[in-house]
Amino acid sequence: MWTYSNPVDVIFGAGEVRKLADLIAGRRFALVTYPEPFFAELGQQLKASAGAPVLTINDVAPNPDYELLREQSARFADEGGEIGVVVALGGGSVIDSAKVFAAANGNFDNVARYLETKTGEEALAFLPIIAVPTTAGTGSEVTCWATVWNEAQGKKYSLAHPRLYPETALVDPELMLKKPTGLTMATGLDALSHSIESIWNVNANPVSARHAVAAAKLIIQALPKVMRDTGNLQLRSDMAEASLCAGLAFSNTKTAIAHNLSYPITLGWGVQHGIACSFTLPTVLRSVIGIGGFREAALQDIFGADLNAGADRLTKFLNDLGVGTRFADHEIPHQYCADIIDEAFAGERGKNFVGTKENFIEAAQQQDVISLSAA
């Protein structure tokens, strides 16, 4: 028995951002975005079509952190009036931040309590969200969770609640044109990881797997090309569609071991999230060979019948993008590897993984991904 559910209305197409005012539909809205000129111009266009937002949060930072989120959330209380919808215009950090604001509605302490104790749900608010992604990566526009960092304590949390699904995902590939190659690569690899992680997952189902296969195959085909041609609308559309499909896949499964390995690597060594959660993918792939069923069939659909050869091709794919697949390639000292692996497999996302720590370590040692002393 399996189930699949995703309640988000999706609008996809070049130029579709023009429909944003219609989606706001006269409601008092808060705009959440980035401080760059590109987003300021989009904000002015939105003001001309939908009226001025009652509140603008335009200082969103990568990897949204407790300290900033608490101060930003308080601005909702300072605004004083009822907000009818939160418009998230930006990448994953913007959409994740918007979910925090929607749940906090002026009081971040309520969100922090829920994150840390899994209690206090009754104190959360759930403002409607319209998500307008400007990168092809996180898939947050079709999920009900947000990544929240507490850098002071060296912790990462996932804010998750079914009422945090956006009411609408408005995906316009024109907004992604000419994004920098570094951002394009990191977000694209994040989407690739989302797709594959949803397959070797205890929560996987045949529908999520089909979304995942479509996403992964399209990313492997399109990402190297769009890196060379950042202004190509068709390639941007392909990546936007792939990221959306990956989101539809892992919206039902959550992520797994590659993501749990990535969090301390990002916190401790500053490795960009999309890189940190993707460089171990070939090792994880080798470690699940033989799992059988629709999961292995899905992986073979992406990488071919010989998954060892597929892992070799995935390694080359990453290497050709400039991403090393060993822990040392990211300046992670060997003496930390064992602890990172142990903690990853013990954590929530690690428990989503259908494979074993022993098989992962064996695959990692065989490919010199970690040193023998790390295990």
Q: Are 244 and 142 in contact (CB under 8 A)?
A: yes
pLDDT of residue 162: 96
- For residues 134 and 90, the answer to whether their CB atoms sit within 8 Å is yes
Higher pLDDT, 375 or 61: 61
Backbone φ/ψ region at 139: left (φ over 0), alpha (ψ -120 to 50), beta: left
CA–CA gap between residue 342 and residue 201 (Å, rounded) = 18
What's the confidence (pLDDT) of residue 373? 56
β 155-160/9-12 pair status: unpaired
Question: Region 62-70: what's the mean pLDDT?
Answer: 95
Architecture of domain 177-374: Up-down Bundle (1.20)
Please tell me if the domain spanning 9-174 has the same topology as the one spanning 177-374.
Answer: no
pLDDT above 80 (res 375): no
In the predicted model, is pLDDT for residue 172 greater than 80? yes
65 pLDDT more than 90: yes
Is residue 266 scored above 90 in pLDDT? Answer: yes
Question: How much is the average pLDDT of 302-314?
Answer: 98
pLDDT at 374: 42
For residue 85, the surrounding DSSP H or E stretch is: strand 85-90
Q: How large is the angle between the packed helices 233-250 and 206-228, nearest 10 degrees?
A: 150
What letter does residue 126 receive in the DSSP assignment? -
Q: What is the pLDDT of residue 107?
A: 95
Give the pLDDT mean for 57-75. Answer: 95
**Topology (CATH level 3) of domain 9-174:** Rossmann fold (3.40.50)
Q: What is the mean pLDDT of the chain?
A: 96
CB-CB neighbours of 330 under 10 Å: 17
pLDDT tens per residue, range 313-329: 999 999 999 999 999 99
What does the pLDDT read at residue 323?
98
- Domains of the chain, by residue range, sit at 9-174, 177-374
Q: Return d(Cα 258, Cα 345) in angstroms, integer.
A: 10
Residue 337: phi and psi, rounded to 5, are: -65, -45
User: According to the model, what pLDDT value does residue 295 have?
Assistant: 98
pLDDT class of 371 with cuts at 50, 70, 90: confident
- What is the tens place of the pLDDT at every residue in 115-139? 999 999 999 999 999 999 999 999 9
- Pull the structure tokens for residue 52: 């001025």
Across the range 253-270, mean pLDDT stands at: 96
pLDDT given for residue 372 in this prediction: 53
Percentage of residues in the chain having pLDDT higher than 90: 95
Q: 175 pLDDT band (50/70/90 cuts)?
A: very high
Q: What is the pLDDT of residues 69-105, one digit of tens each?
A: 999 999 999 887 799 999 999 999 999 999 999 999 8
Query: Which tens digit of pLDDT belongs to each residue from 207-230?
Result: 999 999 999 999 999 999 999 999
**Per-residue pLDDT reduced to its tens digit, 239-259:** 999 999 999 999 999 999 999
Cα(157)–Cα(93) distance, integer angstroms: 14
Q: What percent of the chain has pLDDT over 70?
A: 99
